[in-house]
């Protein structure tokens, strides 16, 4: 088992024993710099094998890893260090190095002798950061116990075994990237880690490495669907493609299946509870996020009481995989409802299938009516000229809020034509007051639209 190949990166190949030995060597170096059990170590790294070694090194010392996105600027990194109270740093990013002494991952690592350290289930393992779509991100604390349950849930959902092969193109500092890496190692499977996302490289490696499970957040799915030479790649090794992080854009998924023969499954999780629901590998329903894995309930957004079957409300989940809490601590006040984690997502259960209609905080209130951005977006995505879109609300003196649609197009089409399409499909109060054309939609690496940024951009434009 220890000599089985588990990790590829560019032209480098690592066995499990090499991963363990290099992690142990890095742990020895961190210990020489004063890292002790119970401390927090900031880790800001690009996609590279040393990220994996660093996480395991921190855990060997009984410390916890504070995962910071390599895309963040100084203000965000400073905020992360402040709320996490990290005492040490390791990585390859000059932004972190400018803020505190950092062990560089570019330094050579001498292999060490792995130690059989078993951290307590209730001790912190990692701190990841919420997406921060509505303000400064919160640190999400996961213990070794909650992370182990998440890995177990994800492995079962994926049906992952030692014969599977996966590639990691999403940032490992995000909960999805970390979970994929940890689950592959737990299953004894094989993974290829990529320095960055490149659609041609990704498709080529599906073919050459005989990848069996592919992860796709929305931007990756869009890149696959729009690839002019998609049919030239042999993707027959894939058991399925997993759509993660955002609701499935059915037209995009169906286009890829039609061109490649590869089917999809969808899943749902959050930074706070990484695995909530997943479609079965046979008979997936892409208009849902699958069937709940831990217990899920739907509660009224007005009273907080459970609603009748099939009724829409906020999705709450109870699981041993749930986070231990947020930092700063005052962010925990509304996080749980009598042990149930409040996702902030709106949806309903349909004969055991979980459907998400929108984010509670992203609902647009027009003249007392609730408008779900995802509903308007699904209509816009149905037009072949629309490559991408995002819907958001802005203050309106008459109606409280007004619906605005930002649209990216591949061929000429007028706002009036798109408005007519929406008018045909949706109630009048759901129609956008304004449809604006943009070169691209700002999104997080997970694919989530940055509606806060869109609102700011729209506000600046309308003030001119």
Structure confidence at residue 8 (pLDDT):
98
Query: What CATH number does the domain containing 376 carry?
Result: 3.30.300.30
Residue range(s) defining the domain that contains residue 452: 363-463
Residue 443 lies in a domain: yes
Rounded to 5 degrees, φ, ψ at 195 are -65, -35
Q: Mind listing the pLDDT tens digit for each residue in 253-262?
A: 999 999 999 9
Nearest alpha carbon to residue 57 among 119, 147, 121, 140? 119
Identify the pLDDT of residue 239: 97
Q: Which residues contact 462 (CB under 8 A, 6 or more apart)?
A: none
Give the pLDDT score at 426.
86
Residue 407 parent element (H or E): strand 400-409
Identify the pLDDT of residue 135: 53
Question: Which pLDDT score, from 0 to 100, does residue 118 have?
Answer: 82
Structure tokens at 89: 């740093």
Average pLDDT of the chain is 92
> Angle, nearest 10°, between helix axes 16-32 and 49-60?
60
3-state helix, strand, coil in the chain (%, to 5): 30, 25, 40
At residue 463 the predicted structure's pLDDT band, cuts being 50, 70 and 90, is low
In a domain, 231, yes or no: no
- The larger pLDDT score, comparing residue 255 to residue 301, is at 255
Long-range contacts for 105-110 (Cβ within 8 Å, ≥24 apart)?
105/45, 105/48, 105/50, 105/51, 105/54, 107/29, 109/22, 109/25, 109/26, 109/29, 109/50, 109/53, 110/25
Q: Is residue 431 part of a domain?
A: yes
pLDDT, tens digit (0-9, with 9 covering 90-100), for 387-422: 999 999 998 866 678 999 999 999 999 999 999 999
In a domain, 372, yes or no: yes
Strand partners, 315: 298
Percent of the residues in the chain that have a pLDDT greater than 70, as a whole number: 97
**How many CB atoms within 10 Å of residue 377?**
23
Q: Would 390 be classed as within a structural domain?
A: yes
| Predicted pLDDT at 399 | 65
| Residue 452 maps to a domain | yes
pLDDT of residue 248: 83
Q: Is residue 301 part of a domain?
A: no
- Between these two residues, 100 and 445, which has the higher pLDDT value? 100
pTM here? 0.82
Model confidence at 124, pLDDT cuts 50, 70, 90, reads very high
User: What three-state secondary structure class fits 16?
Assistant: helix
User: Is residue 215 in a domain?
Assistant: no
Q: What percent of the chain has pLDDT over 90?
A: 75
Determine the Cα–Cα distance for residues 285 and 282; give it in Å rounded to an integer: 9
Q: Quick check: 102 pLDDT over 80? A: yes
Q: How many domains does the chain have?
A: 1
pLDDT digits (tens, 9 = 90+) for 180-194: 999 999 999 999 999
Taking CA atoms, 134 is separated from 31, 156, 220, 449, 453, in Å, by 38, 33, 24, 11, 9
Render pLDDT for 3-54 as a digit per residue (tens, 0 to 9).
899 999 999 999 999 999 999 999 999 999 999 999 999 999 999 999 999 9
């Amino acid at each position: 088992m220890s000599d089985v190949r588990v990790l590829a990166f560019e032209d480098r190949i690592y066995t499990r024993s090499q991963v363990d030995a290099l992690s142990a060597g890095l742990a020895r170096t961190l210990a020489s710099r004063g890292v002790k059990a119970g401390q927090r170590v900031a880790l800001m790294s690009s996609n590279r094998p040393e990220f994996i070694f660093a996480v395991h090194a921190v855990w060997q010392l009984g410390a916890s890893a504070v995962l910071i996105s390599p895309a963040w600027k100084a203000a965000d990194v400073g905020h992360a260090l402040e709320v996490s109270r990290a005492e040490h740093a390791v990585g390859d990013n000059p932004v972190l190095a400018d803020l505190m002494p950092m062990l560089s991952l570019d330094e050579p690592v001498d292999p060490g002798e792995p130690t059989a350290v078993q951290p307590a289930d209730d001790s912190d393992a990692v701190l990841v950061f919420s997406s921060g779509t509505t303000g400064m991100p919160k640190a999400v604390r996961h213990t070794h116990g909650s992370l182990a349950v998440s890995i177990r849930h994800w492995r079962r959902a994926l049906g992952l075994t030692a014969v599977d092969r996966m590639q990691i193109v999403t940032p490992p500092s995000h909960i999805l990237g970390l979970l994929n890496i940890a689950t592959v190692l737990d299953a004894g499977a094989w993974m290829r880690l990529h320095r960055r996302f490149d659609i041609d490289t990704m498709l080529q490696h599906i073919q050459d490495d005989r990848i069996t499970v592919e992860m796709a957040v929305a931007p990756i799915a869009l890149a696959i669907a729009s690839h002019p030479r998609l049919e030239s790649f042999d993707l027959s090794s894939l058991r399925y493609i997993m759509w993660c992080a955002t609701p499935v854009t059915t037209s995009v998924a169906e286009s890829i299946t039609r061109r490649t023969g590869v089917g999809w499954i969808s899943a749902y999780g959050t930074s706070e509870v990484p695995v909530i629901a997943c479609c079965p590998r046979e008979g997936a329903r892409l208009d849902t996020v699958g069937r709940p894995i831990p217990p899920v309930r739907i509660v009224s957004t007005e009273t907080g009481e459970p609603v009748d079957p099939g009724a829409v409300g906020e999705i709450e989940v109870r699981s041993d995989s749930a986070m231990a809490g947020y930092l700063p601590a005052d962010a925990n006040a509304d996080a749980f409802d009598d042990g149930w984690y409040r996702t902030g997502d709106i949806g309903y259960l349909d004969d055991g299938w979980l459907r998400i209609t929108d984010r509670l905080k992203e609902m647009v209130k027009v003249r007392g009516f609730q408008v779900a951005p995802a509903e308007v977006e699904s209509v816009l995505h149905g037009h072949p000229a629309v490559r991408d879109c995002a819907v958001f609300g802005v203050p309106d003196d008459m109606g409280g809020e007004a619906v605005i649609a930002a649209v990216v197009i591949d061929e000429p089409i007028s706002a009036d034509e798109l408005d007519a399409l929406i008018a045909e499909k949706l109630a009048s109060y759901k129609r956008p007051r304004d449809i604006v054309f943009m070169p691209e939609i700002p999104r997080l690496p997970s694919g989530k639209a940055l509606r806060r940024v869109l609102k700011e951009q729209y506000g600046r434009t309308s003030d001119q």
